[in-house]
């Protein structure tokens, strides 16, 4: 049964259609495996080779990956919430109430969005502390730290713009206070405040502007910077290795089908580099 399935998979992978999509083919040499990563748009920002110990919990506590995970949850739940939310006054508040009390699973999705948002801010800070105390921000990774700071700002702005959308008293006064902080900027403060709110007070224009920022502009900016952030890990020579770490170094392979490749037991699918 299994062998017949393997046969079909093998046949499919040799087909012209498969080869036109995955150009690298299905060989098991190091070159083929590297090409499988390099020639995919989605995988090429990842390193083709990873040190085995960097995949362990110790190295990163997976904080960056978890931050990305919460971001993905936020994108999915956010798109679902958009199906029921009108960014208008006073409909926005009623829609938020509907999501909580009327829409099937609306309460669950809204709370998932909210808690993931809190978790993302927390995880972004935790990730930065982890990077800082490991010293992983040092050359040649200093520019990736800067990109990380931009990502932190985008995260906080996403939090802030999302805060207005329920259009309740808490949202209104929080944005009133928060937007007034921008008025304190010398010379251009009042203009910035006016542009941000699209008026002099937190009103329909402000709600619509924050909605567009929250749902379109800031997520696109976040995706762009996340892509650069990941790609820089590859370009900066993989994750930072502490020289004092016990070097558990082995050579192995990265293919997701480890069966036919001779390698030590329990090795994950990514490649390890001698170090």
Partner 1 sequence: MAEENKSRAAEPEKEISRRAFFSKVGLGSIGLAAAGTMSFAYQYMSPNVLYEPSPVVNAGKVDKYSVDSVTLDPVAAIYLIRVQEGFFALTAICTHLGCMTAWKPELGMIACPCHGSHFNREGQKLAGPAPKPLPWLRTWVSEDGDIMVDRSTVVPAMQFLRI
By the criterion CB under 8 A, which residues form the site for partner 1? 173, 176-177, 179-181, 194-195, 198-201, 203-205
CA 229, distance to chain mean position in Å, is 10
Q: With respect to partner 1, which residue has the nearer C-beta, 66 or 196?
A: 196
Least CB distance from residue 156 to partner 1, whole Å? 18
Least CB distance from residue 202 to partner 1, whole Å? 9
Q: With respect to partner 1, which residue has the nearer C-beta, 96 or 206?
A: 206
Least CB distance from residue 183 to partner 1, whole Å? 8
Q: With respect to partner 1, which residue has the nearer C-beta, 15 or 200?
A: 200
Q: With respect to partner 1, which residue has the nearer C-beta, 67 or 179?
A: 179
Q: With respect to partner 1, which residue has the nearer C-beta, 32 or 191?
A: 191
b/e per residue 30-46 (b: at least 16 CB within 10 A): eeebebbbeeeeeeebb
Least CB distance from residue 175 to partner 1, whole Å? 10
Least CB distance from residue 191 to partner 1, whole Å? 8
Spatial separation of the C-alpha atoms in residues 53 and 36, rounded to whole Å? 22
Q: With respect to partner 1, which residue has the nearer C-beta, 65 or 201?
A: 201
Least CB distance from residue 198 to partner 1, whole Å? 5
When computed from its CA atoms, the radius of gyration of the chain, rounded to whole angstroms, is 24
Widest pairwise Cα distance in the chain = 75
Contact assessment for residue 131 and residue 137, using Cβ atoms and an 8 Å cutoff: yes
Q: With respect to partner 1, which residue has the nearer C-beta, 91 or 176?
A: 176
Least CB distance from residue 89 to partner 1, whole Å? 10
Structure tokens at 67: 């931050």
């Amino acid at each position: 049964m299994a062998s017949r399935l393997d046969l079909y998979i093998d046949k499919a992978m040799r087909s012209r259609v498969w080869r036109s999509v995955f150009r690298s083919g299905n060989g098991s040499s190091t070159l083929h495996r590297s090409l499988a990563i390099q020639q995919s748009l989605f995988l090429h920002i990842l390193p083709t080779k990873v040190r085995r110990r960097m995949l362990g919990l110790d190295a990163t506590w997976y904080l960056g990956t978890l931050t990305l995970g919460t971001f993905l949850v936020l994108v999915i739940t956010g798109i679902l919430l958009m199906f029921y939310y009108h960014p208008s006054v006073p409909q926005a508040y009623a829609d938020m109430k509907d999501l909580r009390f009327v829409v099937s699973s609306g309460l669950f999705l809204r709370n998932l969005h909210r808690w993931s948002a809190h978790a993302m801010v927390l995880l972004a800070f935790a990730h930065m502390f982890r990077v800082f105390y490991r010293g992983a921000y040092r050359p040649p990774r200093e520019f990736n730290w800067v990109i990380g700071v931009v990502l932190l700002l985008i995260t906080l702005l996403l939090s802030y713009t999302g805060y207005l959308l329920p259009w309740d008293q808490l949202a209104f006064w929080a944005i009133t206070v928060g937007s007034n902080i921008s008025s304190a900027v010398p010379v251009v403060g009042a203009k910035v405040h006016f542009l941000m709110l699209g008026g002099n007070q937190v009103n329909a224009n402000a709600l619509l502007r924050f909605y567009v920022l929250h749902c379109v502009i800031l997520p696109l900016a976040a995706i762009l910077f996340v892509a650069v952030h990941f790609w820089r890990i590859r370009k900066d020579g993989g994750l930072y290795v502490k020289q004092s770490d016990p070097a558990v170094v082995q050579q192995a392979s990265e293919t997701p089908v480890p069966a036919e490749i001779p390698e030590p037991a329990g090795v994950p699918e990514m490649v390890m580099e001698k170090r």
